[in-house]
Amino acid sequence: MERKYHIRQFLLKGLIKIKDDEWKQTNSLRITDIPKAVLVLTKAYEYLALNSEEEEDIY
């Protein structure tokens, strides 16, 4: 019997405004971004944990 698994993952990206209409993507965080990132990660985990079918997920 073949079982299908869902691997739930996401990517955290940052955007930096360089000029009036120009944005640049970054993978680094400033020290003031860390509390915001922690909140985002916590909310993402809560969402995934509450909306997953445990038997089909791999952690």
State the pLDDT at residue 54. 57
The answer to whether position 43 is within a domain reads yes
Domain region containing 40:
14-56
State the pLDDT at residue 32. 93
Residue 49: which of 2, 18, 8 has the closest Cα?
8
For the chain, what is the domain count? 1
Low-confidence ranges of the chain (pLDDT < 70): 53-59
Handedness of CA 21, 27, 30, 31 (dihedral sign): positive
The answer to whether position 22 is within a domain reads yes
Model-level pTM? 0.60
